[in-house]
Copies of this chain bind each other. A is one copy, B any other.
């Protein structure tokens, strides 16, 4: 029940001084909006889940298959985070076997545009970036 909040507390409530790992801010209660978002979409899986959910709602194992490569644990964790931030809704359909549907909320859908802008940038610059990397790696040796 309240177990759900344990990871969450550690992640945002910051009861621990967190010496080993310190993100820029986001742990202080000072409202740094960009950090909030980056902490969410920065964790790699979130974006994939969101884009997977964009066409329409999906169930757990369905998502598990679609996202490809995600562990069941990370899918759970990611969905919890997204749910907590109000980006994804979780609907339990009591039946046998039980079904759970995940869907983007309005907020979640509104995030898709900024994400798309970023994806477009990524697409139109990937060759430049790959090239720069190769160049850099050559020079290093």
Chain A stretch 95-141: residues in CB contact (< 8 A) with chain B: 107, 110-111, 113-114, 117-123, 125-126, 128-133, 135-137, 140-141
Q: Which residues of B contact A123 (CB under 8 A)?
A: 33-34
Contact of A42 among B24, B38, B133, B136 (CB under 8 A): B38
CB pair A69 B34 closer than 8 Å: no
Instruction: Tell me whether A132 and B84 are in contact in the complex, defined as CB-CB below 8 angstroms, given that A44-B24, A111-B121 are known contacts.
Output: yes
Q: What is the CA–CA distance of A84 and B140 in the complex, to the nearest angstrom?
A: 10
Identical chains bound together, number: 2
Q: What is the CA–CA distance of A140 and B7 in the complex, to the nearest angstrom?
A: 12
Interface size on A, residues (CB 8 A): 59
CB pair B125 A34 closer than 8 Å: no
Q: Which residues of B contact A132 (CB under 8 A)?
A: 84-86, 107
Q: Which residues of B contact A1 (CB under 8 A)?
A: 140-141
CB of A2 closer than 8 Å to a CB of B = yes
Residue contacts A-B, CB under 8 angstroms, 5 given? A8-B140, A34-B122, A35-B44, A38-B41, A117-B117
A residues near B (Cβ < 8 Å) are 1-2, 4-5, 8, 12-13, 22-25, 31, 33-39, 41-45, 47-48, 67, 69-70, 83-87, 107, 110-111, 113-114, 117-123, 125-126, 128-133, 135-137, 140-141
